Amino acid sequence: MSPSARGRRIGILCAGLLPVAFAWGEYADVILNSRSEAEGVAPVIFPHWFHRIRFRCSVCHVELGIEMRVGSNSMRMDSITNGEYCGACHDGQTAWSVDNCDLCHSGRPGLATGIQGGHQTGGPGKY
């Protein structure tokens, strides 16, 4: 192999490692921005790792009916305020109430809806 060809191959290998070495956020951070920014608020960062310490899967994904696919739930603030989805707990008693906007709407501008990777993975479909 010529030195330049070898250099190219190493370059390609490095490029392949980049998403792993510089993955952002914590594994299983969920970014919700299908509507947020379009409606004038920051994207939501939902820390899945934080919530699973307190609740097993079926609480949210069976009892509250939250689909296990980012972007497939039609969550709107009016439904949350009415006690659906996040609003089942974020009612000011079990957890903080929804008038603390920027505790959930805490993301940087321009983030795409999706789930974050972290150690060793870039998230679903990114390997």
CA distance 71 to 32: 7
Supply the minimum distance, in Å, between the C-beta of residue 82 and other proteins: 16
CA distance 46 to 39: 18
Considering only the C-alpha atoms of the chain, give the largest distance between any 2 of them, rounded to a whole number of Å. Answer: 68
Contact predicate 106/11, CB 8 Å: no
Q: Which of 89, 81, 45, 32 is nearest to 63 (CA)?
A: 89
Supply the minimum distance, in Å, between the C-beta of residue 80 and other proteins: 16
Beta bridge pairs of residue 45:
31
Residue closer to other proteins by CB (options 38, 57) is 57
Residue closer to other proteins by CB (options 3, 38) is 3
Residue type at 81 in one-letter notation: T
Supply the minimum distance, in Å, between the C-beta of residue 34 and other proteins: 16
List interacting residues with other proteins (CB under 8 A): 3-4, 6-7, 10-11, 13-14, 17-18, 20-21, 24-29, 31, 42, 45, 47-50, 52-59, 61-64, 68-69, 88, 100, 102-103, 106-109, 111, 115-121, 123-125, 127
Supply the minimum distance, in Å, between the C-beta of residue 119 and other proteins: 5
Residue closer to other proteins by CB (options 34, 115) is 115
